[in-house]
Amino acid sequence: MQVLFTTLPGHLHQLMPLAEAMRDAGHDVTFASGDRVTPPLRELGFQTVAVLNRALESTPAQEAVWAAAGGAAEMPGPEVIAEAVTAAAHAIRTVYFELLPFVAQVQPDLIVYEDATIGAGLTAAEHGVPSVAVSSFLLGTPGLLHTATGDELAALWTDPKLRLDTRPPGFGDDLVDVSVPRLPMRPVAWDMPDGEVLSFAHQRPLVYVTLGEHDRLRAVIDGLAGLPVDVLAGVDRQDVVLPHVDVVIHQGDSRTTTGCLAHGVPQLALPRMADQFQNALAIDLAGAGISIQYEEVTTQTVADAVRELLDSETYLAASAKLREAVAAMPSPEETVMSLEAL
């Protein structure tokens, strides 16, 4: 079977376990993405085509919407979401048009895309190719996008034949969009191999900080400085880091959230844009951690939250329960058999 995977570079991690499983099962896998990930994907043995570079041009506009909202002091309202989606509409259309000639030429048997490359699903529908969406946005943002955009994308919109859901039962059950048939797939932490040898020797609880370009990083580091903890920051290899840490501080992105769920690690989420707000709310509701809204992130609130996560056994117990739920989900290798039957 010839399978085309499409993803923006920042969401590659969520698709790679399935892509590797499909390749190992003997399928012909090609990645359509941006220039940044094309060379390393080729080194891993995948065929690639760099066709999504123009879609990336809308990213600054989307980020500007969230920045103008002040990081959102609370869960963003429909107006902010609609404005962000309007900025994203260009990317959705661009992916659609960039992929049209390539799909016509290659004629894949299946297109696998993620939530930021919804346009690939539209291209699949145009050519009559089955498509499957992988939840790079953990709680089903595509449904939220459809609602928020209204008529703007109605002429192009189509649902995937199936959605591979990396959300474990018990996490965000009341928040998830269930408008598309879902197949659970175990989230697996994946990172590009780099040969780096990391040491996790520590005498005190180890707190892992991964916040990207979050402008509250200084407050986080200062808050941790007064606690009896060791801190690990500036390391992106979550596949090797997460099994060794006691608390993770992140911005609520779906990749890190699912990684923490898979390893049973309590979380402190500091959301500032996009799907991070829903993920942070789900973390709170599941008892798997604590969230602090953007305007409330201070040295003191961070210190208090981390202290509570370490001192209270309830967060660890809730996280362990979710880890068991993740472990019971079908693996990417098992999921391949379901996709072969489409």
Pair type for strands 110-114 and 131-134 = parallel
Q: How many helices (H) and strands (E) does the chain have?
A: 13, 12
Residue 329 pairs with which residues in a beta bridge? none
- Where do we find the tokens 């003191």? 300
CB 3 within 8 A of CB 27: yes
User: How far apart are alpha carbons 326 and 261 in whole angstroms?
Assistant: 7
DSSP assignment letter at 73: S
Q: What is the pLDDT of residue 73?
A: 43
User: How far apart are alpha carbons 116 and 190 in whole angstroms?
Assistant: 19
Radius of gyration of the chain, Cα coordinates, nearest whole angstrom? 20
Q: What is the dihedral of CA 48, 49, 54, 56, to 10 degrees?
A: -10
Give which of 105, 132, 134 is closest to 121, Cα–Cα.
132
Give buried/exposed letters for 281-305 (b at 16+ CB in 10 A, else e): bbbeebbbbbbbbbeebebebbbeb
Q: Which domains does the chain have, with CATH numbers?
A: 2-192+329-340 (3.40.50.2000), 206-327 (3.40.50.2000)
Each residue's pLDDT tens digit in the chain (342 positions)? Answer: 999 998 887 788 889 999 999 999 999 999 988 777 888 899 888 988 877 655 555 555 555 555 555 544 455 555 655 666 666 666 677 777 788 888 888 889 999 998 778 778 888 888 888 888 888 777 665 455 554 444 555 555 556 667 888 989 888 877 766 666 788 999 998 887 765 656 777 889 999 999 876 678 889 999 999 999 999 988 878 888 999 999 999 999 889 999 999 999 999 999 887 778 888 989 999 999 999 988 889 999 999 999 999 999 999 999 999 999 999 999 999 999 889 887
User: How far apart are alpha carbons 64 and 69 in whole angstroms?
Assistant: 9
